[in-house]
Amino acid sequence: GAGVSQTPSNKVTEKGKYVELRCDPISGHTALYWYRQSLGQGPEFLIYFQGTGAADDSGLPNDRFFAVRPEGSVSTLKIQRTERGDSAVYLCASSSTGGATEAFFGQGTRLTVV
Amino acid sequence: ELKVEQNPLFLSMQEGKNYTIYCNYSTTSDRLYWYRQDPGKSLESLFVLLSNGAVKQEGRLMASLDTKARLSTLHITAAVHDLSATYFCAVKNTGTASKLTFGTGTRLQVTL
């Protein structure tokens, strides 16, 4: 596609439920990143994939959060036993390689845990 | 731990005026980015600054980097309403492949 696509654009879930957020990067981009943006804050790094592997998952807040990228393209961020504090906009970005290459961001998924 | 601070957090300015947004960061880095975000929209990449003394300009925006002072500035010249948005600086964490630490953003409002 022309840009990074994230689905759904909005997700409302009940506390304790499981959610999956999907990211479709720009075709051919090997690097993929997930960030989380709380209201009024800058994005916070969660995880970085180079190809299929997670090269840096140091930003995942706890073991309820997990992300996969099985074929090196689409990625899914999975959150188990959601808590109200997980409410935020989850942003995905991709770049042609890692490092200094410009990263292009999707429009995000707004997750609300009620 | 890398910390990135921006100021001001909110800026209201009249059309035609000049102003500067500041981005300070706490540890050495070799890469700094400026992004723009409109409400409900993606982050749009504006500039990538790679070396000390780097200066980049696009239209009414000019960004510079002083790695010794750990400071970047985003200068706005003769502001127009279309520049109203939130501007973020982001700094690459040294020793990581691509992890960025973002500032809290500067919300710019340009009034007529």
pLDDT at residue number B97? 65
Q: To which residue do tokens 């502001």 refer?
A: B79
Residues B42 and A106 sit within 8 Å (Cβ to Cβ): yes
Please say whether the beta carbons of A43 and B86 come within 8 A. Answer: no
- End-to-end Cα separation, chain A, in angstroms: 33
Q: State what percent of residues in chain A have pLDDT above 90.
A: 85
Residues of chain B found within 8 Å of residue A31, distances taken between Cβ atoms: 98
Which chain B residue shows the shortest CA-CA distance from A40? B104
Chain A CB contacts of B36 below 8 Å: none
Mean pLDDT of A38-59: 93
pLDDT of the residue at B31: 87
User: Which residues lie across from A89 on neighbouring strands?
Assistant: A37, A110
pLDDT at B98: 73
Is it the case that residue A12 has pLDDT exceeding 90?
yes
Compare CB distances from B42 to A58, A59, A107 and report the shortest one's residue.
Answer: A107
* Predicted local distance difference test score (pLDDT) of residue A99: 61
Residue B91 has pLDDT above 60, yes or no: yes
- Find, among A76, A87, A63, the residue nearest to A15 by Cα: A87
pLDDT at A35: 97
Q: How far apart are the first and last CA of chain B?
A: 41
| Per-residue pLDDT tens over the stretch B22-45 | 999 998 887 899 999 998 888 999
Q: pLDDT class for A1, splitting at 50, 70, 90?
A: low
B8 in A contact zone (CB under 8 Å): no
Contacts with A59 from chain B: Cβ below 8 Å: 99
**Can you list the positions of beta strands (E) in A1-114?**
5-7, 10-13, 19-24, 31-37, 44-50, 53-56, 65-68, 75-79, 88-95, 104-105, 109-113
Mean pLDDT of chain A: 93
Structure tokens at B72: 């970047």
Average pLDDT of the residues in A53-77: 95
